Structure 1
Amino acid sequence: MHIHILGICGTFMGGVAALAREAGHRVTGCDAGVYPPMSDQLRALGIDLIEGFGADQLALKPDVFVVGNVVSRARLPDGQPKFPLMEAILDSGARYTSGPQWLAEHVLHGRHVLAVAGTHGKTTTTAMLAWILDQAGLKPGFLVGGVPLNFGVSARLGGGSAFVIEADEYDTAFFDKRSKFVHYRPRTAVLNNLEFDHADIFASLADIERQFHHLLRTVPAQGRVVSNGGDEALERVLAQGCWSELRRFGPVLADFIAEGEPGDFSVLAYGQAVGQVRWGLTGVHNQNNALAAIAAAEHLGVAPADAALALGGFLSPRRRMEVRGQVGGVTVYDDFAHHPTAIRTTLDGLRRQLDRQPGESRILAVFEPRSNTMKLGTMAAQLPAALKDADLAFCHVGGLGWDAAAALAPMGERGRTAEAIKPLVAQVLAAAKPGDHIVCMSNGSFGGVHELLLAGLAAKG
C-alpha cells in the first residue's frame, strides 16, 4: 500500500509514518517546514518528504491520503486555500482517512492495546509502560509522543501482541472532531489526570470529561481501567459509568500507592509492599506516572515487583527535564512543560531534589506560552502560582494577545518578560551565576534558546 501523509513531521504523524514503513508500506508525506530532526529521521527510513501542501501532489496517486489534524479548510487573506492539496483531494474524490483511523485499522486491530490518556504525563507514562513490558520479554509495539531514550525511536511495531500508545484527547482531523483516543479501542486504559486544556477546541472541562467517558465506553468488560484516585475530574468521568475492572493509583487507600521520596520509593499494591523504585527521575508526578504504569503492566501479567525493578533502568524521554549542558557551574534543562500544572510540578520536582543537596541552588525558569490554550490567555492568572518554586522567571511574550507582564505582576521583581528570544537570553545570562539551574519550558523549539544560553554562558566565562 502507498500512503501519502499530510502533516508528516508532527510527532504523532511521524510515528504513524515510521510504523507504516516498518510494516512494509510505501510512505511519502508533506508538511510545511520540513526540517531536522524529524525530516532526518523520516528520510533515514526511506520516506520521501515534500515541502508544502501543493495540489500537484495529487499526481502521486497513493492508495490513500492520511490527513493530520494540522490540515484544515482555512483560507489565506487573499482567499486562496491554505491547504491546496486537501482541496484537490476533496474535488477529485480520492480516498482519504485520518492518522488515528489508519492506525486503528492497520496496526492496532487484533492487538492488546494499552492506551495512556491524561492532561499531563502521557508521554512519560507511555514510555515507562513500554519499557516495563519490554523488560518483561513481551516485545511490545509502541507509539510515543516523544523519543524514549531507552529505545531511541518514538514508534515501533514490536513482535508481541501488546501495543502501548499515547492517547491524546485532541481532535482527530478537520472532518472527525472526536478525540484521537476514541479510535484506539484499548483493553487497558490509563487515566493519568484531567484538567481543562485545549481551549481552542473545548469550551469547558465538562466537554473534555465527556470525551474521556467516550474512551471508557470502548474498554471491554475484561479490560482494565487504571485511574488516578486523587483526581476529582476523573472520578466524575467514572461516575458516568465504568464497565471494566477498575484499579486506582496515587493517594492513600488506592490499589497502588507510593511511600517515600520520588527518587526512591516503595510500591504498595493492595496494601502490601511489593517493590522499590530507585531511579534518577524527580517529582511526585513521576512517582504517580510509575504507579500508573505498574498497575497497567499488571493487567498483562507483569508482577508489580518486576515492574518496579524495571523502572530502575528507565530513562526519561527527550525534552522531559533533559539536561542540555552545563557551563560554568550553570545547568541548562529542556522540558516540554507548557500547561501551568506541568510547569508547577516540573519545578516542584527539581526544587525537592535541590533541597536535599548541600549548598544553595537557584532555579531560573525560562518559558513561552506557546500552546493554543496559553496563547489565548485562558490560564494566565495561574502562572504566578505555577512558578512559585522559581527564584526568577523569564517569559517570552512575543505574539501574545494578552499582557504577560500584568499576569506575572504578583511575582514582583522575580517575574520578567521579553518580546524576542535574544533579549530574553540576555536577561537570563545577566542574572545567571554558578550553581543555578535554568529550566527552559516550551512545547516548541523555543527559538533554539538552549543552545543560545549555553553559548552565552561559555562566552561569559
Structure 2
Amino acid sequence: MKVHFIAIGGSAMHNLAIALHKKGFKVTGSDDVLFEPSISRLAKYGLLPEKNGWYPEKITADLDAVILGMHARADNPELIEAQQKGIRIFSYPEYVYEQSVNKLRVVIGGSHGKTTITSMILHALQAAGKNFDYLVGAQLEGFDTMVQLSDAPLIVIEGDEYLSSPIDRRPKFHLYKANIGVISGIAWDHINVFPTFEDYTRQFDVFINTIENGGVVFYASNDEVLNDVVSANQSTVTKTAYKLPEFEVQNGITSVVYNGQTYPLLVFGEHNLLNMEAARSVCEVLGIDAADFYSSMVTFKGAARRLELLGKNEVTNIYKDFAHSPSKLKATIRAVKQQFPFRKLVACMELHTFSSLNKDFLKEYAGCMDEADEAIVFIDAQTFVQKKMEPYDAKVVKDAFDNTDLLFFDQPQELQRYLEQTELAEKNLLLMSSGNFGGLNLNQLSSDILIK
C-alpha cells in the first residue's frame, strides 16, 4: 500500500504515518510547518519531508490513498490534485477505521478524561499480556508511539468530538463505529464548531447511534446532562452506568478498596477514580477481572500533562495539568485540594483555545476556580494577535469568573516573576493549560521555586 499524508506533522497524523510505515506501507507526506516532536520522530523513520510546503507533484496516480489532516485547508494544492486524479481521500479517523474494520473497536468519548481512560485501559491490557492496537492523544510511558496498527484483534481508540478534516465536518468519534463505547461526561466545548450547547450534546447522542448492534456504551452516572442524553437515546445497544469505587485517602495517598483489598495509587482525584471505573468496565468485557485490573493500576503513573508532578519538597508540590475547560478546571482543583486538605492551593490557568477566549463562552467559567485559595488567570497577549481576536482586560476576566480576588496576567515574564516571588510554604501550585504559558519553561520555573 502506498499512502500520502497532507499535513503529516500533526500530532495524530505523524503517529499514524509512523504506524503505517511500521506495518510495511510506503508512506510519504507534506506540511507547510513542522514542530517538535514531529520533526524528530518523522526523521527517525525516514518520513520527514525534505522541505516544507505543498507539492502537487507528490500526488501520483499510483497512490492507494491520501490522508488529509485538519491543519490543511480545503484549497490545498495537493488535495485539489488528489481530487482531480480521483484518488481516495480519507481523514485520519476514516483511515484508522479502514485499518480496523475487522477488529473489536473500543472508543473512548466524552468532554474530559478521554486520554486518561484510554491510557488506563492500555496499561491494564499491557499488564495482562493482551495483543492490541491503539490510538491515544498523549505520549505514554512504555509505548513508542501514540498509534499502533498491526494484526491484533482489538483496538482501543481515544475518540475526539472535533471535526475530522477540512472537507469532512463529522466529529472524529462518529467514524470509528465502536463495539464498546465510553462517554465520560458532557461539558460544552468547541464553541467555534458547535455554537450552542444543544449542538454539542447532540454529537454524543449520534455517537451512541454509531455503536454496532450488540454493542455496549458505559457512561458516568454522576453527569446529569449525559444521563439525560442516554435516557432519551433510541439505540438498542446496552447502556451501563459506572460510578465512583470505594476509596480512601491517607497520608497523601489515594487507594481503591475492593473486596477487602487496598490498592494504593499514584494518581488521585475523584475524576481520576471515575476514569478508572470507566476503564475497569471496559476491561471486564475484554476479559480482565477487577482484582487484576486494580493491581495493574497500582503502577499507572498517568498520561503526560495530566496532573503531572513537576517537582516537590517537604512543604510544596507543583503540578501541571492539561485542564482548560470549566469542568476540567473545577475537577482538577478539587482533586488537589482533597488530596492535600491541610495545604492551601495556588491555581493558575491559561486561557488559550478559541473557545475559552471567546467572550460569549467566557461566562461558562463563573465560579470554576472558587475552591482555590488563590486564583490566577493568564492570557498571553500574543494569543489574541495570533487568533485575530479583540483583546480584553482583567475586569472582563474577573467578571466572567465571578471572582474579584482573581489575579490576571497577560505577559509571561510578569507571571513568572510573580510565581517566583510567591511564598509557597505549606501550599501547592497547580498550572493548568492546553497551551504553553507563553513559552515559559515550567520545569525550570518549578526547580527555581522549590530551591529558593
User: What is the TM-score normalised by the length of structure 1?
Assistant: 0.86
CA contact (8 A) 1:142 1:158 kept: no
In 1, Cα distance between equivalents of 2:51 and 2:434: 22
In 1, Cα distance between equivalents of 2:408 and 2:85: 49
Partner of 2:66: 65
SS in 2 for 1:443: coil
CA contact (8 A) 1:283 1:346 kept: yes
Partner of 1:244: 237
Deviation for aligned residue 1:45? 3.0
Q: Alignment partner for residue 156 of structure 1, among 142, 148, 152? A: 148
Deviation for aligned residue 1:390? 2.3
Identity %: 24
2:224 is aligned with 1:232: yes
Deviation for aligned residue 1:326? 4.3
In 2, Cα distance between equivalents of 1:47 and 1:192: 35
In 1, Cα distance between equivalents of 2:98 and 2:260: 38
The 3 A distance-change label for structure 1 pair 203 and 258 is same
In 2, Cα distance between equivalents of 1:420 and 1:91: 47
Q: Which moved more, 1:61-70 or 1:240-249?
A: 61-70
Deviation for aligned residue 1:125? 0.2
2:359 is aligned with 1:367: no
Partner of 2:2: 2
The residue type paired with residue 334 of structure 1 is: K
SS in 1 for 2:340: helix
2:132 is aligned with 1:140: yes
SS in 1 for 2:18: helix
Partner of 2:374: 392
CA contact (8 A) 1:128 1:293 kept: yes
Partner of 2:422: 431
Partner of 1:77: none
In 2, Cα distance between equivalents of 1:348 and 1:274: 27
Partner of 2:191: 199
Partner of 2:257: 266
Q: Which moved more, 1:30-39 or 1:285-294?
A: 30-39
SS in 2 for 1:72: coil
CA contact (8 A) 1:113 1:163 kept: yes
Q: Deviations over 1:354-398 (max 9, x none)?
A: 11xxxx533222221112211213442243522123232332222
In 2, Cα distance between equivalents of 1:368 and 1:105: 38
Partner of 1:448: 439
Q: How many residues align?
A: 435
2:410 is aligned with 1:419: yes
In 1, Cα distance between equivalents of 2:236 and 2:326: 33
Q: Which moved more, 1:161-170 or 1:44-53?
A: 44-53
Spell out structure 1 runs of 4+ moving beyond 6 A: none
Deviation for aligned residue 1:402? 5.5
Deviation for aligned residue 1:158? 5.6
In 2, Cα distance between equivalents of 1:148 and 1:275: 28
CA contact (8 A) 2:65 2:90 kept: yes
Deviation for aligned residue 1:277? 3.9
Deviation for aligned residue 1:299? 1.3
The 3 A distance-change label for structure 1 pair 431 and 303 is same
Deviation for aligned residue 1:432? 4.1
Q: Deviations over 1:310-349 (max 9, x none)?
A: 2112120111111233479654322111101111111111
The 3 A distance-change label for structure 1 pair 4 and 421 is farther
Q: Which moved more, 1:442-451 or 1:283-292?
A: 442-451
2:370 is aligned with 1:383: no
SS in 2 for 1:385: coil
Q: Deviations over 1:8-49 (max 9, x none)?
A: 333222332232122111223333442222322232233223
SS in 1 for 2:351: coil
Q: Alignment partner for residue 392 of structure 2, among 377, 389, 403? A: 403
Deviation for aligned residue 1:165? 0.5
Partner of 1:337: 323
In 1, Cα distance between equivalents of 2:282 and 2:81: 44
In 2, Cα distance between equivalents of 1:455 and 1:285: 28
Partner of 1:102: 95
In 2, Cα distance between equivalents of 1:40 and 1:328: 37
- Structure-to-structure mapping, 1:279-318, within 5 angstroms: 279-318=265-304
In 1, Cα distance between equivalents of 2:247 and 2:316: 29
In 1, Cα distance between equivalents of 2:105 and 2:181: 8
The 3 A distance-change label for structure 1 pair 139 and 93 is closer
Partner of 2:30: 30
CA contact (8 A) 2:3 2:28 kept: yes
Partner of 2:387: none
CA contact (8 A) 1:138 1:160 kept: no
CA contact (8 A) 2:311 2:319 kept: yes
In 2, Cα distance between equivalents of 1:402 and 1:448: 19
Q: Deviations over 1:155-179 (max 9, x none)?
A: 2236631110001111111211111
CA contact (8 A) 2:59 2:81 kept: no
The residue type paired with residue 35 of structure 1 is: F
Q: Which moved more, 1:447-456 or 1:12-21?
A: 447-456
SS in 2 for 1:101: helix
The 3 A distance-change label for structure 1 pair 15 and 427 is same
CA contact (8 A) 1:221 1:245 kept: no
In structure 2, stretches of 5+ residues that fail to align are 385-389
The 3 A distance-change label for structure 1 pair 30 and 454 is farther
User: What is the TM-score normalised by the length of structure 2?
Assistant: 0.88
SS in 1 for 2:34: coil
Partner of 2:212: 220
Task: State the Cα RMSD in Å.
Answer: 2.6
The residue type paired with residue 230 of structure 1 is: N
Q: Alignment partner for residue 178 of structure 1, among 158, 170, 175? A: 170
SS in 2 for 1:40: helix
